[in-house]
Amino acid sequence: MRVVLAIAWVELRRFLADRSNLFFVLILPLAMVAVIGWQFGSDRSGSPVSVHGPGGAATEALVAGWEDAELAVTVRTTPELVQEDVSRGSAEVGVLLDAEAETAWRDGIPMELEIITGSSSQAPAVTQVVRAQAEAVATEATQVGLLETFGDATEARAALEDASALVPPAQLLVQQPEDPVAVAFEGAEQFDNGAVAQLLLFVFLSTLNAAPALIKARRDGVVRRTMAAPVTTAQAMAGLTTGRVVIALVQGAYIMLASSLLFGVRWGSLGVAVAVLLVFGLIAAGAAMVIGVLVDSEGAASGLAVGGGLVLGAVGGSMVPLEFYSDTLRQVAQLTPHAWANDAMAQIQRQGAGIADVLPQLGVLAAMAVGVLVLGSLLLRRSLARAM
Amino acid sequence: MTTPVLQVEGLRRSFGPATVVDGVSLRIDPGETVGLLGPNGAGKTTTISMIAGLLRPDDGSVVIQGVDMGAEPLAAKRHLGLVPQDLAIYPELSARSNLSFFGRLQGMRGADLRRRVAEVLEVVGLTDRATGASKTFSGGMKRRLNIAIGLLHEPRLLILDEPTVGVDPQSRNAILESVEALSGEGMAVLYTTHYMEEAERLCDRIGIIDGGQIIAEGTRDELVELTGGADTVTLVGEGPLDEVEAAVAGIPAVREVRRVAGEGRLVMVVQGAPQAISAIVATATGAGMTLRDVETSRPDLESVFLHLTGKALRD
């Protein structure tokens, strides 16, 4: 164990000795979390409700009513624009009225609205305000209609009281369609999704950076010298892997803590999140080992590590959320560790999932980790013979 | 009879169809320095890799201090210090950190480790530079650190694989003095080089290796004896060297003649050079060679190698 820790410690020191690593580990990930968070969910208070309607009396009355309730309303020209506003997070709630709703409003009979609720935790509350205010506006409209019928205020008031007993006010039927994207993001805050995606993307990239370091150690003869000491290949592998996984965990913990403090990102159960990160880091460390043994040039290994890390991250949902993927692309994404880790982290973060809930994802990630680490170990052993 | 520190029997190793080491046997006793002398590609590093447990031999055995490397590699490696040809150090780390790391790999720790680190830093003259990153060191300082790591755990057998490659004369001399001192303290040393001067200076016995085989082994004098006491004459100049080579080969005293690749140089093994030199010079100039220099030397390992293989060591 001492040998493993000694190798791990020296790997850590080598990593920290390269100052440029600190930029990629500490600064860039948080900058990306901020940028993505602002892109997907900025300025909610400015326009929380997006509305499309035919532009008749009902639309005008409801928009006025919501504005009276201090909701910021944007009227859109098409239903698709309303859906886009909600999907991108620029509106908490979308409301769609059609011509039938206008007619029902005019005739004083129950009208139907379609309400689309966004993914943030504020969206349900905004939806309630939208509904309550719409019902109030509809009721008032009924009352105003009655008042106009009777002309005299006293008679009208008396008639209104009678009518209240006899005729129910116009009702509002709310249709809330099941939007899979909205359901998937239910409970996620502005920066939450970006933080998970960037955490996984950068942890993988940083860990893959072990590949050129391993090539340098091989080229300098340090690996040969290590193996000439009373050290087994398994111990050498464990040491190299441990060093990189520790770096991954430290970087992960830093991103989690800093994003929590700076952007209010919630991470759910920390223990479960760290477990996912640990297994994910093992895969990255194993992949770095494989690249570091198969490739002989440090420059080529750096390119492969960065390029490969970005491609895997992109396919695995660390650039565009998996929820936006087609079914086919989703299946392709599941070949990457990022997709499984993103899925597990999303459940932990948004639904408060525990270790049992993410066991399937952890199982797949663990199998991937064992695969790349065994492959890396065999290749390292072979590379020693090749170096003679 | 003394128990050998290193006993190698019949080592063989092939890479694909090429047999790189072909039946190497070797024995080193305590306090003895044995050299493996041969040109690049002769099989020295592959032999050392098998002795150090880095490469599994196809056949043969390596026993260090009575422990079989094949059966108990970790136990055998505890008696072994390897100084590879490459500068096998972490340039980002200081000399002290490098030594501490490799010491831990050898199972050392605590006060014992700190004491040995201080001692070997003193031995290689790096005490004043113990804390600076080793990437700031000169080539000679890096080489000395490379050797210090091999000495740290006081191994019974120290393997030095071409330790002076690329080193300035002053550092080279310091390294050679260190090796002489270690041998004097009872450490067994296996020293590979293609510099015959180093082999002659350091080694009690020398194995000449070529084509993966030890073609001769013995003390310097025993090896020189193989040439029949012949001298070496070297002609340096320009001209039709093929014709000159053929012409001087016809002189009865000239037993071997070879051109050094890429240089205007003819190296000859000559019986009785003082008597034959005038005939050699006359024949060479008569064949059209413009001489710039003529060197004669008493028999040395270069002439032994030439005699045994028909090649110069630096070919």
CB B228, CB B309: distance < 8 Å:
no
Among A121-125, A247-251, B102-106, B171-175, the least confident range: A121-125
Token representation of residue A183: 């359901």
Question: Predicted ipTM?
Answer: 0.76
Q: Determine contact, residues B191/B47, Cβ cutoff 8 Å.
A: no
Among the partner residues A6, A219, A384, nearest to B101 by beta-carbon distance: A6
Residue in B with minimal Cα distance to A382: B55
**What is the structure's pLDDT at A44?**
44
> By the CB < 8 Å criterion, does B65 face chain A?
no
Report residue B157's pLDDT band, with 50, 70 and 90 as the boundaries. Answer: very high
Residue predicted with more confidence, B99 or A218: B99
To the nearest whole Å, the CA of B50 is away from the closest chain A CA by 10
- Structural domain spans, chain B: 6-219, 230-298
Overall fold of domain B6-219: Rossmann fold (3.40.50)
A75, A54 Cβ separation under 8 angstroms = no
End-to-end Cα distance, chain A: 28
> Would you tell me which residues 205-264 of chain A have a C-beta closer than 8 angstroms to some C-beta of chain B?
217, 219-222, 224-232
Q: The domain B230-298: what is its CATH number?
A: 3.30.70.100
Rounded average pLDDT over B64-85 = 91
- Pick from A13, A225, A384: CB nearest B84: A225
Residue type (1 letter), B248 = V
Q: Would you call A240 helix, strand, or coil by DSSP? A: helix
Contacts of B4 (CB under 8 A, 6+ apart): B27, B28, B29, B63
Q: Residue B284's pLDDT is what?
A: 92
Confidence of residue B103 (pLDDT cuts 50, 70, 90): very high
Regarding the domain delimited by A45-184, which CATH topology (the fold level of the hierarchy) does it fall under?
A: abc type-2 transporter like fold (3.40.1710)
Contacts of B78 in chain A (CB under 8 A): 230
pLDDT at A370: 93
* Chain B residue with minimum CA distance to A388: B46
Q: Which residues of B touch A7 (CB under 8 A)?
A: 105
**Candidates A7, A13, A230; nearest CB to B77:** A230
**Do residue A228 and residue B86 have CB atoms under 8 angstroms apart?**
no
In this predicted structure, what is the pLDDT of residue B280? 92
Half-sphere exposure of A260 (CA within 13 A, CB side): 11
A364 contacts: CB under 8 Å, gap ≥ 6 = A340
Q: State chain B's mean pLDDT as an integer.
A: 87
Does B53 sit within 8 Å of A227, measured CB to CB?
yes
Residues 6 or more apart from A108 whose CB is under 8 A from it?
Answer: A141, A142, A145, A170
CA dihedral for A238, A241, A247, A251, sign (positive or negative): negative
| Distances, alpha carbon B281 to alpha carbons A4, B248, B277, in Å | 66, 9, 6
Q: Which residues of A touch B92 (CB under 8 A)?
A: 13-14, 17-18
pLDDT at B63 over 90: yes
| Lowest-pLDDT range of B63-77, B126-140, B298-312 | B298-312
Is B84 within 8 Å of chain A by CB? yes
Q: Phi/psi at A265 (nearest 5 deg)?
A: -70, 135
Sheet of A172-175: strands edge to edge?
A: A73-75, A49-52, A93-96, A111-117, A172-175
Contact B93, B132 (CB under 8 A): no
The Cα B148–Cα B175 span in angstroms is: 10
The minimal CB distance from A228 to the residues B82, B91, B92 is found for B82
Which DSSP category does B127 fall into? G
Select from A86, A102, A104 the least CA-distant residue to A176: A86
Burial class (CB in 10 A: 0-12, 13-18, 19+), B32: buried
Q: Which residue has the higher pLDDT, A384 or B213?
A: B213
More confident residue, B206 or A84: B206
**DSSP conformation class of B23:** E
The residues spanned by each domain of chain A are 2-40+190-386, 45-184
Nearest CA to B60 out of B43, B74, B75, B35 is that of: B43
For residues B64 and B5, the answer to whether their CB atoms sit within 8 Å is yes
Pairwise CB contact (< 8 Å): B87 & A221: yes
B175 vs B179: CA distance, rounded Å: 6
Distance from CA of B103 to the nearest CA of A (A): 9
Residue A338 phi/psi, 5-degree rounding, is -60, -40
The single-letter DSSP state of residue A23 is I
What is chain A's alpha carbon radius of gyration, rounded to the nearest angstrom?
A: 29
**pLDDT at A150 (0 to 100):** 61
Tokens representing A241?
A: 């892997």
For residues B23 and B10, is the Cβ–Cβ distance under 8 A?
Answer: yes
Interface check for A382 against chain B (CB to CB < 8 A): the answer is no
* Longest pairwise C-alpha distance within chain B: 73
Smallest CA–CA distance from B105 into chain A, residue: A3
Q: Give the residue ranges of chain A where pLDDT is below 70.
A: 37-47, 121-122, 144-161, 163-190, 384-388
* Run of H or E residues at A368: helix A359-386
Across the interface, do A220 and B55 touch by the CB < 8 Å criterion? no
User: Which chain A positions have a beta carbon within 8 Å of B74's beta carbon?
Assistant: 230-232
Q: Is B165 on the interface with A (CB under 8 A)?
A: no
Contact B88 A227 (CB under 8 A): no
Identity of the residue numbered A206: S
Handedness of CA A69, A70, A75, A78 (dihedral sign): negative
Q: Do A6 and B86 touch (CB under 8 A)?
A: no
For tokens 């041998």, what's the residue? B183
pLDDT of residue A388: 41
- Residue A154 tokens read as 């006293």
Instruction: With CA atoms as reference, report the closest residue to B159 among B172, B146, B168.
Output: B146
**Three-state DSSP class for residue A152:** coil
What is chain B's Cα-based Rg? 22
Hunting for tokens 């020191």 — which residue is that? A13
- HSE-CB for B252 with a 13 A CA cutoff: 1
Residue among A6, A10, A385 whose CB faces B55 most closely: A385
pTM assigned to the model: 0.67
